[in-house]
């Protein structure tokens, strides 16, 4: 049976509920403080009012292939029609006074109406404050009294083996609770989102849990449930959640700016593996190996050099370049961070003020994982504005999709782009394949990114 990664929002239409045996996962902690039986009930009674159900509805434009005669007579554009949809997901109240509810972007994307249902049955129509597709976070607001907010934990303190409890509304079954452990940290490269730094858990997560809470045994929010690995979208004990620290950084930017303004170092790099460490005679086992530093960027101003290994951010160790990219992007433009740098056998701390990710020069992976290994720069050549590919690592994803040094990107999915900012904004809104219009010398070509 083919396994697949899938987002776990559920469009509850005319579906039937299939019941099937579920696997047995982590046992509950042993009894403490003289309790006769171990139980999570006291903790859950305090926090389940902070987890809500979100019902969405709206209409989507669906493209369909036109009549073959249209193509013959010179009208090859596909026809479109609007299709009604509805869906169900979960959310977490993070600010009771302001009525802020956080959920996944894919739960509320394209929704024209969003209704939040509290544990006590009260219903409120929600307003979307802002969202970010690349990290799959959305912030809603409801006008309601006597709300319960779930306290945020410091997700950087998590360890593999910590107990975890998932709360949500799978298949429309409100306030379902499952338990497990933190199976892994810093999961990335899954191609679920543009920016990935997931908590992996074996707590049972199913369709409809999207946007729900993953909490520790103190009832503190450690993550927002987002995706599962399974056959046909069913639970097999491998689920993924966005860490609470990452969520908070994104929400803070949405509240302040109405959007996420990603941070950037202005470097290209790769994960440090055993082969690279041996070849470069490095005494560190993990981190982000810096391959190139762009001029006049946050990294160059801070004195970071090619050949450095970035091993930590604000005192927290990083496992590789994917984790560095996600953390820097979600910390946001203008933030001051402390990087742990390994150079010449010594570790030093460097203070860096992050640039915005859509400036004049950028590392390709700051726009999309498929551009990793390329450096991009705004350019104007012969009255033509675009984004020039100034370098490509021949072993990188950008080389595999067909980008070459000297290419000038002028279109993304048939939309004209004149700057990295234009390109970044368009890519953020794309679902599915990306087609780049590229000028290569005197030729115009297309590069497909699936």
> Residue 342 contacts by C-beta under 8 Å, 6 or more apart in sequence?
282, 283, 284, 287, 308, 309, 310, 311
Catalytic residue status for 210: yes
- Longest CA–CA span in the chain (Å) reads 82
* Given the residues 9, 53, 90, 106, the one annotated as active site: 106
* Given the residues 210, 319, 326, 396, the one annotated as active site: 210
Residue 58 pairs in a beta bridge with: 85
Q: For residue 199, give both structure tokens.
A: 């908590």
* Given the residues 90, 135, 136, 268, the one annotated as active site: 136
Catalytic residue status for 106: yes
Catalytic residue status for 136: yes
Cα dihedral angle (14, 18, 23, 29), rounded to 10 degrees? 60
- Asked if 318 and 304 touch (Cβ cutoff 8 Å), the reply is no
Instruction: Give the Cα separation of 221 and 202 in Å (integer).
Output: 16
For residue 410, count other CB atoms closer than 10 A to its CB. Answer: 18
For residue 41, count other CB atoms closer than 10 A to its CB. Answer: 9
**Residues annotated as catalytic (active site), given as ranges:** 106, 136, 210
């Amino acid at each position: 049976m083919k396994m697949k990664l899938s987002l776990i929002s559920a469009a509850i239409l005319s579906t039937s509920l299939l019941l099937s045996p579920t696997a047995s996962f982590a046992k509950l902690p042993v009894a403490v403080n003289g309790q006769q039986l171990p139980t999570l009930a006291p903790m859950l009674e305090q926090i389940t009012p902070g987890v809500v159900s979100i019902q969405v509805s709206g209409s989507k434009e669906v493209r369909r292939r036109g009549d073959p005669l249209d193509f013959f007579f010179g009208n090859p554009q596909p026809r479109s029609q609007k299709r009604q949809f509805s869906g169900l997901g979960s959310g977490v109240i993070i600010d009771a006074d302001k009525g802020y509810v956080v959920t996944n972007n894919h739960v509320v994307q394209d929704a024209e109406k969003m209704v939040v249902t509290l544990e006590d049955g009260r219903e409120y129509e929600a307003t979307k404050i802002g969202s970010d597709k690349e990290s799959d976070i959305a912030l809603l607001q409801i006008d309601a009294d006597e709300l319960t907010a779930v306290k945020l934990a410091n997700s950087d303190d998590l360890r593999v083996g910590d107990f975890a409890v998932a709360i949500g509304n799978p298949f429309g079954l409100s306030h379902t609770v499952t338990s497990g452990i933190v199976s892994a940290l810093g999961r990335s490269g899954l191609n679920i989102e543009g920016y990935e730094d997931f908590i992996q858990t074996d707590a049972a997560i199913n369709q409809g849990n999207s946007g729900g809470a993953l909490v520790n045994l103190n009832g503190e929010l450690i993550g927002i449930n987002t995706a599962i690995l399974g056959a046909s979208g069913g639970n097999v004990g491998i689920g993924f959640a966005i860490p609470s620290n990452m969520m908070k950084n994104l929400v803070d930017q949405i509240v302040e700016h109405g959007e996420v303004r990603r941070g950037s170092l202005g470097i290209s790099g790769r994960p440090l593996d055993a082969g690279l460490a041996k070849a470069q005679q490095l005494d560190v086992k993990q981190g982000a190996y810096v391959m190139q530093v762009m001029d006049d960027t946050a990294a160059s101003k801070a004195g970071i050099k090619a050949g450095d290994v970035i091993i930590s951010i604000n005192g927290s160790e990083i496992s590789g370049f994917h984790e560095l990219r996600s953390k820097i992007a979600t910390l946001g433009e203008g933030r001051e961070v402390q990087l742990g740098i390994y150079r010449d056998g010594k570790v030093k701390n460097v203070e860096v003020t992050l640039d915005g990710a859509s400036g004049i020069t950028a590392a390709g992976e700051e726009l999309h994982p498929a551009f990793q290994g390329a450096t991009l720069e705004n350019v104007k050549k012969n009255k033509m504005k675009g984004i020039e590919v100034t370098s490509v690592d021949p072993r990188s994803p950008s080389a595999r999709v067909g980008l070459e040094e000297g290419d000038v990107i002028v279109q993304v999915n048939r939309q004209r782009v004149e700057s990295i900012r234009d390109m970044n904004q368009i890519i953020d809104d794309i679902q599915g394949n990306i087609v780049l219009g590229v000028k290569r010398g005197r030729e115009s070509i297309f590069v497909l990114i699936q």
